[in-house]
Structure 1
């Protein structure tokens, strides 16, 4: 069910002259509802992030390599086709600095996401989208200053911290999913969320291919300028074009413990059909899937830059594009499989592809085998929209912002865990099995597969909101 349009009675925030005022109408300011879909916010923000993520890792690799005197770090790619001790030192430094940068914004991100998500249930989704995109904008400005002025790489952590203060990418993504939940029915929600994730895939593919060739041709600074321009566009679109999905936004204080209580009530307050056990177990499954997803993406670029693959920035761009292809393939996969299978079993198939892809990565020593792994993994990302949709159906419409802020926190914890585990494990296992972290990821993914299967078999009922929405 779509949200009321600006001309419909349900969208009015104030009465016409001469009519009696509604109870509480003084707390509802007039708002510009807009007409643009939230998908474009996600597309633009993720394009910028997908452009920056491998860009930052490669910049760290080449900058730190130059500092230690490693001669296999030319911008055109390649490395010494041998086990060079200095290469291992660069791999270790790059992994550790990636960890430090992510840690710098982690705790602040948890605080801000939990605060801002329930706030958006009252004031609308637009304010949070504007705040989060502004934070990402500040982060890319700091990155430009570091690259342009050759500042210490530690300043990249400052940019991450500024972004986390304003909600970070997890808050932007969580608010976008909450907006989709606001305007979708229970029966269409899984597909709508898969469509939103497909925007991640399309934007990621375009950014990765363009970024890989661009770095090789012109270096690092120009791609960062493009990321800046895109985030400025994202912020303006969220502020003036995005269609507000909360029917009647109200004034609400931002800094209040009430927002944290709303998150607590998701698990403590009884509701028809809502199960604390199901909420907790689906969040556990999502946490494990995202941990492996973020962790393997974190080390993939370093894995590809180093011996024996020795990829250049163009091949890294194609590899990153192949990673993002899984979002688009997942949408088609979900649409086809929903014709004959329940969502949970579609998620199980997705996890099976993910496990096999991780195993292929763990033994990949050639470009052909690495891209074979990417091909298998292109069928692996249906599981995340399925879990998000199932969680969304376990709470009512007035709790969507609180739920997705909780999911944003889980995503943040998963990102921290992934960075800490994989960026520490990867250099520690270089001497006996370089691809061991991927093999560990395949084993861990068996746990969410078991959790989702058990929940579906033990409680196959349709979610209770099917009759309420």
Structure 2
């Protein structure tokens, strides 16, 4: 029984963690947005009857402006607070183990969820308390820490097997979209039937389950009988007798993340790693920009989506993206190289954004979800290729740097796309999506450049 259990532990690893975290994220995001709008309305208009129904106050300019300002502060707080821990925690996980870094975001998210629940239940609490909830979520890096620890865990588990690593990371990546599908549907149902407090309760419940799963089920992967995680060669002399003291300074781990990314490597591996991290940044920038203006765009004429129809579209889109990684990708891997699939995935995403920019009715918008179904493949391949370049003792540090770069995307995407959308609204509302397609064209060019570089040689594990 124990042997069967250990085998199962190697098959089912970080996927439920990512699923639970992303489900909770997609439950809480529309919930806190709606709560902020309602709270602002109550503080400004002092009329619970009007504020209880969004249809009654959606045209109030003061409510919309103030709520938009607080939402911007919420996202800015979440983004800025999460960057320092994202840089540090990956290198720390290379030494301390992946599970602790994986559990920390859920522990503080439970506290954040409790504060959001208090804000919605207690009328006298100011809406600005939500900013403290954002800071609590960001203190351990939020979703970027989940990603860096999870993908580092898989890199450890699949060390020496490139194809297995790519498939495992694709399955893990698909949990983002599967969690998105469940989160959108469950969150909408809970808010409609039971109110915002039920949504925040489900958010807390997801994180409780995630912590229990990490503590009771996950084990840090054993890399091999004679393999151990050693300090970097550059740091050996520097550490010496001061090794214990230096570990007390958390900034050391930030330094290791930067060293991992910028250290000299054989051939063109360092340049390749930089290009892959740049691709990760652009992919995430486009994804955040997409979500920041999509609802506004689809509700605008001539599409005129309702909130319910927008939820259905998002669920279908997430479901198809998950199918692209779970169903389509493993089949295509049998007959095509992973880099070829990554480039086809980027092309698919370009086509979907061009179609979205030109969409004028409901069926064209839903066709966007079908055309973009393979879009998630490129990022799974990028993560796999990045982990193949660095050593076993550098996985967390590399993913940590990439995750901290992703964390900056919230502010940058809001500046670019939320600033551009109102300017193009009178002429061509779809222009931001054309810009997104151009960004994805840059990713395609970078992937082609990377594919023409010499292949990264597999690392040898030497035994004594």
TM-score (norm 2): 0.83
Matches of 1:53 and 1:279, distance apart in 2: 32
Matched, 1:133 2:106: yes
**1:366 counterpart = 2:339:** no
SS at match of 1:153: coil
Q: Distance in 2 between matches of 1:254 and 1:191?
A: 37
How many residue pairs match? The answer is 435
**In structure 2, what is the equivalent of residue 465 of structure 1?**
458
Q: 1:314 aligns with which of 289, 308, 315?
A: 308
Q: Which residue of 1 aligns with 2:197?
A: 221
Which residue of 1 is the match for residue 429 of structure 2? 434
Aligned 1:263-274 pairs, distance under 5 A: 263-273=257-267
Distance 2:51 2:336 in 1: 49
How far apart, in 1, do the equivalents of 2:429 and 2:43 lie? 24
Post-superposition offset of 1:96:
4.2
Question: What is the CA–CA distance in structure 2 between the aligned matches of 1:63 and 1:305, rounded to whole Å?
Answer: 23
1:286 to 267, 272, 280: 280
Distance 1:194 1:273 in 2: 27
SS at match of 1:333: helix
| Contact 2:261 2:401 (8 Å CA) reproduced | no
Shift of 1:79: 9.5
Answer with 318-327 or 401-410: which moved more: 318-327
Distance in 2 separating the partners of 1:344 and 1:88? 49
Say yes or no: does 1:378 pair with 2:373: yes
2:418 matched to 1:423?
A: yes
Match of 2:449 in 1: 454
Distance change >3 Å, CA 93–CA 139, structure 1 → 2? same
Aligned pairs for 1:54-453 (under 5 A) are: 54-60=30-36, 86=59, 95-150=68-123, 151-184=125-158, 185-245=161-221, 253=247, 255-273=249-267, 275-305=269-299, 308-325=302-319, 326-453=321-448
Residue 464 of structure 1 aligns to a residue in which SS?
Answer: coil
Is the 1:130–1:238 contact (alpha carbons within 8 Å) kept by the matching residues of 2?
A: yes
Shift of 1:156: 2.2
Q: Name the Cα RMSD after superposition.
A: 3.4
1:329-369 per-position Cα deviation (integer Å, ceiling 9, x unaligned): 23323222222222222111111111121122223343322
CA pair 5-102 structure 1, distance change in 2 beyond 3 A: farther
Alpha-carbon deviation of 1:402? Answer: 0.3
| Inter-partner Cα distance in structure 2 for 1:162 and 1:395 | 32
Tell me how far 1:427 sits from its aligned partner: 3.5
Unaligned runs of 5+ in 2: 231-242
| TM-superposition CA deviations, 1:415-469 (whole Å, max 9, x none) | 3311332233333433333332222211221111111112212x152x2226559
3-state SS, counterpart of residue 245 of structure 1: coil
Contact 2:94/2:393, CA 8 A, preserved across alignment: yes
Deviates more, 1:288-297 or 1:160-169: 160-169
Q: Is the 8 A contact 1:201 1:324 kept in 2?
A: yes
- Residues 183 and 138 (structure 1), Cα distance of their counterparts in 2 relative to 1, 3 Å cut: same
Write the distance in 1 (CA, Å) between the matches of 2:296 and 2:461.
49
Q: 1:343 to 1:7 in 2, by over 3 A?
A: closer
- 2:461 and 2:264 map into 1 onto residues whose CA distance is 16
CA deviation vs aligned residue, 1:228-247 (integer Å, no higher than 9, x gap): 11111112222232222265
Query: Deviation at 1:285?
Result: 1.3
Deviations 1:188-220 (A, max 9, x none): 111110000122222221221222233233332
Q: Higher mean Cα deviation, 260-269 or 199-208? A: 260-269
